[in-house]
Amino acid sequence: MRASKKVIIVGGVAGGASVAARARRLSEDAHIIVIERGSFVSYANCGLPFHISGEIPERESLLVQTPQGLRNRFNLDVRTESEALRIDRDDKTLTIKNLVTGETYDETYDDLVLAPGAQPLSFPIPGIGRAGHFALRAIPDMDAIIAWNGDVTPRNATVVGAGYVGLEVAEQLTHMGMSVTVIEARSQALAVIDEDMAFWAQRHLEDHGVDVRLDTLVTSFEDPAEGEEAAASVVVCNDGSRIPADLVVLSMGVKPEVTLATDAGLAIGDFGGIRVNQHMRTTDEHIWAVGDAIEVRNPITREWSLIALAGPANRQGRVAADNVMGRPATYRGTYGTSIVRVFDLTIASTGLNEDALKRGGIAYEAVHVHPLSHVGYYPGAEILDMKLLFSVGDGTIYGAQVVGKETVARRLDVLATAIQGGMTVDDVAQLELCYAPAYGAPKDPVNLLAMAARNVVNGDVDIAQWYEIDDLDDNTVVLDVRSADERDASSIPGSIHIPLDELRDRVDELDKSRPIIVHCFSGQRSYFAQRMLALNGFTVRNLAGGIRSWQAAHPDRERHEPDAHHVSALAK
């Protein structure tokens, strides 16, 4: 009789714990060993930012499972404070160091699963790593930040990097009463979404008092100069600014942890992650890999990339465990569906953004809509900023981004499901979604977004994008069809104004020989105008997303918040 299977898993958090628990559900007699360098297994690293300020009050609630809990429930051989040092592929042996005793020993395996995660990216910035500098990757990092904060909350904090974790941390530190600066080398926060959508997050941070500095590089961390405010560090930037910081959180991204894989001669991809096939198998038939350490294929472009997210790590863990235990399973790839909260604003995206589409040489069009989260007559409606990227040829949806204060996750998840199900803009325009006044609208925002795209695919509407407005030739007319009070609040320079309800009567004021770009607040009323003018023989395009999208890309321009009037206009 064959001895029971022996599986070793390196890494005991998101991906690793998933592999272990699933493997046990498929085999009662397998010997499943989890090797984890840290003291904790299966904890909620996604929750770490929220305990720093006490939004998640109990530290213990982050510990989803303890080593003993995993032993009891799943009969796992969990070895914490143990580091996997080396793989001998010929002998199918892993060398492990007990970090408490210093002892090193070998353990054989039938199958080995690597789930070692990623490491915070660091750069050789002079002064980096001074007292008061922290990354946030694991429980001890969170504990160290809390301990540094101590009883006297630091006055100033600088977060380097405006990705998801950086912005979550910036919010939490602001809640604690710190004056927070976020420094980002790129020209926008949240690189996974497009610039015209990232704007909403940036402005929201600023509205909450966070000093957001884009296009800015940290050149050094120094002691305060004579006469400067006392601080643990002075953050020196390439624009010459010097920012005092009692606390610095370095959140500059992550890189896959591939030391074991590289040393063992496993294939590493162009982006530095472990290469696996669709079964999560590495280039060694007995070694598998999951989570932040691997490269994943985008199902739309088939291109490789690194996507560090908990959902994919968990699903990959399940696929790997199935295959290890002899049940064939396939991972379909990663779309990068993600969400983050910045104060009370939610930003979510799925699929390809404009940069990825351009890199992939994929022809696409973008529409923006700004509907209300539910009908305007029911209290509490909030504007949603929604963007869809799609093929004008056949209506294939490539990506979606949604920003707002209400129902963002629900809308984005419908769009993510639609993309993964291969639905076109026509399919999504026709989706039957739930509706009652407190929840949505008879034409759900998701339907509206897809309808705007379908109008483009069908050739019913030609659209113009916000970035075209700045480079218009003198011949093109920008026509604003909003109401007079909306117009008074702000306008696109050089535009002319005829309110929608007067347009039929005043159409003679327009010159048929000149192309027109028509706009309103969100693109919806201007769509009606665009149809009317096109049917009257004008060459006319609708500004996608209206003045709201244009203003999002022109933060220096005056802008206005929608008041009750605009909200009721949107609700029509």
> Which residues of the shown chain bind ligand FAD in the complex (CB under 6 A)?
10-11, 13-16, 35-38, 45-46, 48-49, 83-84, 115-117, 136-137, 165, 257, 260, 291-293, 308-311, 313
Distance between CA 394 and CA 494 in Å, rounded? 36
Nearer to ligand FAD, 95 or 476 (CB): 95
Closest approach of ligand FAD to the CB of residue 409, in Å: 12
Q: What is the DSSP code string of 282-310?
A: -SSTTEEE-GGGB-EE-TTT--EE----H
As to burial, measured by CB atoms within 10 angstroms (0-12 exposed, 13-18 middle, 19+ buried), residue 347 is buried
Closest CA to 8 of 116, 90, 103: 116
Closest approach of ligand FAD to the CB of residue 41, in Å: 8
Q: Report which residue's Cβ sits closest to ligand FAD.
A: 291
Give residue 411's Cα distance to chain centre: 15
Q: Which one-letter amino acid corresponds to residue 184?
A: E
Closest approach of ligand FAD to the CB of residue 472, in Å: 41
Per-residue burial over 505-527, b if 16 or more Cβ lie within 10 Å, else e, is eeeeebeeeebbbbbbbbbbbbb
Closest approach of ligand FAD to the CB of residue 226, in Å: 37
Closest approach of ligand FAD to the CB of residue 310, in Å: 4
Nearer to ligand FAD, 313 or 383 (CB): 313
Nearer to ligand FAD, 84 or 345 (CB): 84
Give residue 280's Cα distance to chain centre: 24
Distance between CA 398 and CA 300 in Å, rounded? 7
Nearer to ligand FAD, 133 or 554 (CB): 133
Closest approach of ligand FAD to the CB of residue 192, in Å: 12
Residues facing 105 on adjacent strands: 96
Nearer to ligand FAD, 92 or 137 (CB): 137
Distance between CA 310 and CA 42 in Å, rounded? 12
Closest approach of ligand FAD to the CB of residue 13, in Å: 3
Nearer to ligand FAD, 51 or 525 (CB): 51
**501 phi and psi angles, rounded to 5 deg:** -70, -15
* DSSP 8-state secondary structure symbol assigned to residue 242: E
Nearer to ligand FAD, 19 or 369 (CB): 19
CB 199 within 8 A of CB 212: no
Q: Token match 């390196």: residue?
A: 10
Nearer to ligand FAD, 59 or 487 (CB): 59
As to burial, measured by CB atoms within 10 angstroms (0-12 exposed, 13-18 middle, 19+ buried), residue 434 is exposed
Nearer to ligand FAD, 217 or 310 (CB): 310
Closest approach of ligand FAD to the CB of residue 241, in Å: 27
Distance between CA 149 and CA 131 in Å, rounded? 12
Closest approach of ligand FAD to the CB of residue 45, in Å: 4
Three-state SS at 570: helix
